[in-house]
Amino acid sequence: DGGITQSPKYLFRKEGQNVTLSCEQNLNHDAMYWYRQDPGQGLRLIYYSQIVNDFQKGDIAEGYSVSREKKESFPLTVTSAQKNPTAFYLCASTLLPTENTEAFFGQGTRLTVV
């Protein structure tokens, strides 16, 4: 079945460590997105990519990095520079152009700093 898969579902990070969250889609979607979700905050955009080897910062990119080496994959690295990384992270994808298209989400990764 086509879909978007995030892994792992739960991730624990020690202070000062970088961690990478995986996002893979087999929907043949062009654009991929990373969101952060905190209680009562809704979804905030971290980074997005519309094409391989290109990506743009979202509203809260500081302390995060991404890569888009393949159309299917858009991993997110939470660096030690992110001061408050504990959150639920969601990956999404869409076709381009985005007019008359929907965004589909993965199952999410809950990151906890220990």
Partner 1 sequence: GQQLNQSPQSMFIQEGEDVSMNCTSSSIFNTWLWYKQDPGEGPVLLIALYKAGELTSNGRLTAQFGITRKDSFLNISASIPSDVGIYFCAGRPSGGSEKLVFGKGMKLTVNP
Contact residues toward partner 1 (CB under 8 A) are 6, 31, 33, 35, 40-45, 48, 50, 58-59, 88, 90, 96-100, 102-108, 110
Given a contact cutoff of 8 angstroms between Cβ atoms, the answer to whether 66 and 21 are in contact is no
Compute the least distance from the CB of residue 30 to partner 1, in Å. 10
Burial category of 100 from C-beta neighbours within 10 Å (exposed 0-12, middle 13-18, buried 19 and up): exposed
Compute the least distance from the CB of residue 4 to partner 1, in Å. 8
Pick the closer one to partner 1 by CB: 73 or 88.
Answer: 88
Pick the closer one to partner 1 by CB: 80 or 105.
Answer: 105
N-to-C CA span, the chain? 35
Pick the closer one to partner 1 by CB: 18 or 96.
Answer: 96
Compute the least distance from the CB of residue 98 to partner 1, in Å. 5
Compute the least distance from the CB of residue 92 to partner 1, in Å. 8
* Strands (E) located in 39-86: 42-51, 54-57, 64-66, 76-78
Rg (the chain; Cα; Å): 13
Tokens of 1: 């079945």
Pick the closer one to partner 1 by CB: 22 or 80.
Answer: 22
